[in-house]
Each structure stands twice: as C-alpha cells, then as structure tokens.
Homo-oligomer: A and B are copies of this chain.
C-alpha cells in the first residue's frame, strides 16, 4: 500500500514555499528534514481516521487528499480537498483534540509526516510558524464559509460548474485544439460526495450540460466548450 522514500530533503522541497514551513531557518529545516517521514500512498489509503488523536501533521508533496466527514448514520461527505503544498491534520494538532475528519488518499500521493513533538518544538523555536497556522485556519474558514453560503443560495448546477472551475484553475490546460480542458482527479462518486448528491444525479447532470453544449465529458477528461456560459452559471466570484 505504501512505500518509504527518505531521499526527499525539505531544503529544496518545491512545496515548502506554500506551506507554514516557509519561514524556517537553516537549522530548523535540518530538524524537519531529519524528523519527517516521506511515503508514497496509493488511492484509498488513510492518513488518519476521524476521531483518532493527532499524531502529527502531513505535508502533501503531490497527489490529492480528501477530508471526509462521517455522521452518526454512516453518511459521508467530502468536506475539503487538499493538494501538493498543503498541510493536513494541523487543526487537530492546534486544538489538541481528536481529528474531526478522516484524511483519505484520493489519487496516488507523496506525503511527508512530521510528528507532533517536532511540530511543537518548531512552534516554540519560530513564532512565525504560529502566524502561518493562523493564516491557514483563516483561509480554510473563508473557503468553507464561502462554500457554505453557496450551498444555501445556489442550485446544484451552479455549484457543479463552480467546482469544475476550481479544478480548472488548479489543473486546467489547453487541449490540442486550444480549448480549455482538464482531467478530473476524482471518480464520479467522489464528485457526488463533494456536492452532497447521489452518483446517479452526477451522471444526469453531466449528461444535461453535455447535450447543452457547455462541456464535453470523456471519462475523466473535460473539454470546456462555452467558457463564458460556464463561468456565468458558476457565479462571478470564483
């Protein structure tokens, strides 16, 4: 399921500049490099379980991690997606309480684990890190609240288009014909879990926007045929 690859060195890690670790000094970096455990994970692997105590934080180098929330009745929802350059599991660390979500590997990923004790040490050594965590929390809060407001006011089609545009911003490209395109990193059922609907409804939604000529879906590949209209439906504030 997982393999270990200790070759990575945080000093040159390209992801680090976007994480809370960007302010580390040379000696602190050396500490992290020594402390971290780098591993590759296949899709389906679990970084940590909802309800488990926090053992440390996870720095994503590449791949996609989903934060999943399970309720009492066994319903689950994907509440957040995390990609390379993001740190997950930090909230349980800061709050000193159990994880509220589980972290599931959605696409093959390379992730560095840094144990709680080291993070604590770094936090004491470099107060800047605390600031970065605060910023991270604020950013997560803004994003979640925006999605929350969107779900209360917008219909499904608008939320679906918005989700696609988020993906496009992150991993969009131009196809051979110069058209905007993207390769969805998730399967249909995961898209459904992000929107809080059933997989069947995703199928029908895709079919309807396809027949209207807005987008072309070929398995996970999406070609955007009418960007203006897609953006209009998704809503101005992207």
> Smallest Cβ distance from A202 to chain B, in angstroms?
14
Chain B: CB-nearest residue to A76? B153
Check: A91 CB closer than 8 A to any chain B CB.
yes
- Whether B152 and A196, one on each chain, are in contact in the complex, defined by CB atoms closer than 8 angstroms, is yes
Partner of A148, one of B130, B142, B148, B193: B148
- Whether A152 and B235, one on each chain, are in contact in the complex, defined by CB atoms closer than 8 angstroms, is no
- Whether B147 and A148, one on each chain, are in contact in the complex, defined by CB atoms closer than 8 angstroms, is yes
> Given the known A-B contacts A71-B149, A72-B235, A235-B71, are A91 and B141 also in contact in the complex, defined by CB atoms under 8 Å?
yes
> Smallest Cβ distance from A105 to chain B, in angstroms?
20
Check: A124 CB closer than 8 A to any chain B CB.
no
Interface residues of A in 141-162 (CB under 8 A from B): 141-142, 144-154
- Whether B148 and A151, one on each chain, are in contact in the complex, defined by CB atoms closer than 8 angstroms, is yes
We find that the number of chain A residues with CB closer than 8 angstroms to chain B is 39
- Whether B148 and A144, one on each chain, are in contact in the complex, defined by CB atoms closer than 8 angstroms, is yes
Measured between beta carbons, the chain B residues less than 8 angstroms from A141 are: 91, 137, 140-141, 144
How many copies the complex holds: the figure is: 2
A237 to B154, CA, bound (A): 27
> Smallest Cβ distance from A83 to chain B, in angstroms?
18
- Whether B95 and A149, one on each chain, are in contact in the complex, defined by CB atoms closer than 8 angstroms, is no
> Given the known A-B contacts A69-B145, A137-B137, A144-B148, are A153 and B75 also in contact in the complex, defined by CB atoms under 8 Å?
yes
Chain B: CB-nearest residue to A232? B72
Partner of A71, one of B71, B76, B153, B196: B153
Partner of A73, one of B134, B149, B235: B235
Check: A166 CB closer than 8 A to any chain B CB.
no
Check: A100 CB closer than 8 A to any chain B CB.
yes
A193 to B149, CA, bound (A): 10
A residues whose Cβ falls under 8 Å from a Cβ of B: 69, 71-73, 75-77, 79-80, 91, 94-95, 100-101, 130, 133-134, 137-138, 140-142, 144-154, 193, 195-196, 235-237
A-B contact pairs, 5 of them (CB 8 A): A69-B153, A80-B145, A95-B142, A130-B130, A134-B134
